[in-house]
Amino acid sequence: MTIQTCDPRALRDAFGAFPTGVTVVTACDGEGNPIGFTANSFTSVSLNPPLLLVCLAKTSRNFATMTGARHFAINVLSETQKDVSNTFARPVEDRFAAVEWTKGSTGCPVFSNVAAWFECAMEEVIEAGDHVILMGRIESFDNSGRNGLGYARGGYFTPTLASKAVSAAAEGNIELAAVVERRGEVLLLGEEVLALPSIDAHDGNPTEALEQYLEALTGLKVSIGFLYSVYEGKSDGKQHIVYHAVSGDGDPASGRFVKPDALSGAQFKTSSTADIVNRFAMESSIGNFGVYFGDETGGKVHPIPAKGAKA
């Protein structure tokens, strides 16, 4: 695709292929009230002098306050702070009531339990198309040693959970599957007995292999999102790794999209498949997703909100 024929959404999706961390940028307005927004367009710039930058959309409701601020702070969220990211990405009335924070040395809000934070003096505001670049000179910072929260292709990921998935995958035969979603409906294979699309994993990148399989199966554009379930199949001796995925429009060449709440009484290939579909139906109704680790009979769900970070 050339820039002359570029669809802005397609370009945004291409940018989303680059995994980033997630931050909340904070400052105070002229009356001393705290403001903040979620951003993943953050990067280090220089060690000497100590500089960093973050991008801000000109359409942001915080634009005038942020570009006029003398100081701002970057809170690098830890992998347990998906809810904080979501809160500051949405038009919530009192965002700061939902997070524990204190004032830094320059008065900017600094969050508790973050992976790291930086307080900065505004060095420069640089015009950059439909955004501006806020260049900050670091005046103070702290590094907690916690793992940061990750974000790629519209979904969160966490280093600790990802490493658990790799460890699980190394222990035996691996089956990759996907909960392929489109506007709340899930792709299922079969007529009387329903199953999620799945393949046996081989050497190479598992998400690329799964994405290629799903696109060949359906004839549709499919994007792999966040890790959804990792469990040991005692009945088949396999390690099962299930991802969330999103499908483009069109009629699938194989399978069909079904609303999960319309599957009452349906027969599934395995009880694990039924559990995954039922959990997806429940989680999608409340907007908070999770990653399951365990086996066919029991395990733990690590909450991961489904809404993405915004730059």
Start-to-end Cα distance in the chain: 23
Residues 65 and 27: their CA atoms lie apart, in Å, by 8
The residue with tokens 């900017």 is 108
Contacts of 209 (CB under 8 A, 6+ apart): 176, 199, 201, 202
Beta bridge partners of 75: 24, 117
Q: What is the pLDDT of residue 307?
A: 42
Q: What is the pLDDT of residue 163?
A: 55
What is the mean predicted confidence (pLDDT) over 157-183? 69
49 shares its domain with 132? yes
What is the mean predicted confidence (pLDDT) over 221-243? 84
Beta bridge partners of 121: 71, 137
What is the mean predicted confidence (pLDDT) over 280-305? 75
What is the mean predicted confidence (pLDDT) over 200-208? 75
What is the mean predicted confidence (pLDDT) over 64-85? 92
Residues 190 and 239: their CA atoms lie apart, in Å, by 22
User: pLDDT, tens digit, for every residue of 107-125?
Assistant: 999 999 999 999 999 999 9
**Residue 311: pLDDT over 50:** no
3-state secondary structure 39-57: ECCEEEEEECCEEEEEEEE
**Residue 257: pLDDT over 70:** yes
Question: What is the separation of C-alpha 231 from the centre of its chain, rounded to a whole number of angstroms?
Answer: 21
Residues 229 and 185: their CA atoms lie apart, in Å, by 18
Whether cis (ω within 30° of 0) applies to the bond prior to 8 is no
Confidence class for position 304, pLDDT limits 50, 70, 90? low
Instruction: Name the token pair of 40.
Output: 């993943």
Domain encompassing residue 130: 18-151
User: pLDDT, tens digit, for every residue of 31-43?
Assistant: 999 999 999 899 9
214 shares its domain with 288? yes
Asked, for residue 35, whether it belongs to a domain, the answer is yes
60 shares its domain with 94? yes
pTM, 2 dp: 0.56
List the single range of 19-23, 209-213, 275-279, 286-290 with lowest mean pLDDT: 286-290
Residues 266 and 276: their CA atoms lie apart, in Å, by 13
Please provide residue 47's backbone torsions phi and psi, each rounded to the nearest 5 degrees: -90, -30
List the single range of 93-97, 101-105, 191-195 with lowest mean pLDDT: 93-97
Confidence class for position 305, pLDDT limits 50, 70, 90? very low
Confidence class for position 6, pLDDT limits 50, 70, 90? low
171 shares its domain with 295? yes
Domain count, the chain: 2
Identity at 69, one-letter amino acid code:
A
Q: What is the pLDDT of residue 310?
A: 40
Instruction: Name the token pair of 220.
Output: 């549709």
The CATH number linked to 200 is 3.90.79.10
Confidence class for position 4, pLDDT limits 50, 70, 90? low
Residues 184 and 132: their CA atoms lie apart, in Å, by 35
Residues 176, 209 contacting (CB under 8 angstroms): yes
Asked, for residue 310, whether it belongs to a domain, the answer is no
37 shares its domain with 80? yes
